[in-house]
Amino acid sequence: MSVAVDPVVVLVGASSGIGRATARRYAREGARLVLAARGRDALETVAAECRDLGAAVLVVPTDVTKPDDVHALASAAVSEYGRIDVWVGNAGVFAYGAFDELPADLFRHVVETNLMGQVHGARAVLPVFRRQGTGTLVMVGSLYSRVGSPAISPYVASKWGVLGFAESLRQELRGTGVRVRVVLPASIDTPIYQHAANMTGRQVHPLPPTSSPARVARAIVNAPHRRRHALYVGRLQLVVLVVHRVAPGLYDAVVGWLMDHVELRGSGVEPTAGTVFDPPPVAGPVTGGWRSHRVGATAVAVAAVAALALVMRRR
């Protein structure tokens, strides 16, 4: 699939973490950008960085849970640049807590943001792609599009939904010139964990080792040019998938232990909705500072689990 020399890229969820890293990478490569997130001030910060790198940038504050907002985003992009070559659905929120302790509205809003936000994006951009006869829809899923974990059920539910939706859409769009790609990051060093809703009473941490957001940004930018539908990012991604497939009971035991001893720590943390309902007042950093944490013991433990799973598979 060929795209314009200076492709028009709509990037949803551009104000921090993976989105901010992706905006910078697209800017360096000469793309014309349309940046979207809930907060205008945060978007303007990222837009200024991209303009300094030589990119043309349009800022469109957008709440992906509102279909009218998302359709207005697509219209603004076409009005400004005449076309859309790539639409990146990256908006996402996180929530920690046992299912029966999570408020229903919190669970619903995570799903509406992470899954329905992708659905609204597809509805808005597909008519544009069909008129053009070309275009790529890139959805950002997760390792949790393929496996589960306790204490993050709304996130897991939403990300499994993203992968299933993307596969169905890909099948429907065969032969149209429109491509669907899914990027599936594992643990990434972003502020999403600091921004997460938390009903556990404990401090939350990503499962180490975390990868750089720059790696995910590279995968997103390269996705339209790859033949593969799903692109994985993360050192332990394949190990986790193997254990989940060949030794599901072992996976359940290990993932529960890791959540209770590695991802959740301490006590006395007040319940918070994080940024699930309201955006942060300023742009979030690209990284969350997690890569400086010690990860050796956990990495060894996960490697040992993988080795055990392979032994069990041979037997």
**Residue closest to 101 by CA, chosen among 154, 144, 65:** 154
Whole-number Å distance between alpha carbons of 110 and 103? 11
Strands of the sheet with 32-36, listed across from one edge: 57-59, 32-36, 8-12, 86-89, 135-140, 178-185, 230-233
The Cα-based distances of 212 to 12, 95, 209, 225, 314 in angstroms read 19, 22, 10, 21, 34
Catalytic: which of 26, 155, 193, 251?
Answer: 155
Instruction: Locate 39 and state its tokens.
Output: 């907060």
Which sign, positive or negative, has the C-alpha torsion 111, 100, 192, 291?
negative
CA atoms within 13 A on the CB side of 120: 23
Whose tokens are 């859409």? That residue is 169
96 is catalytic: no
Residues with a known catalytic role? 155
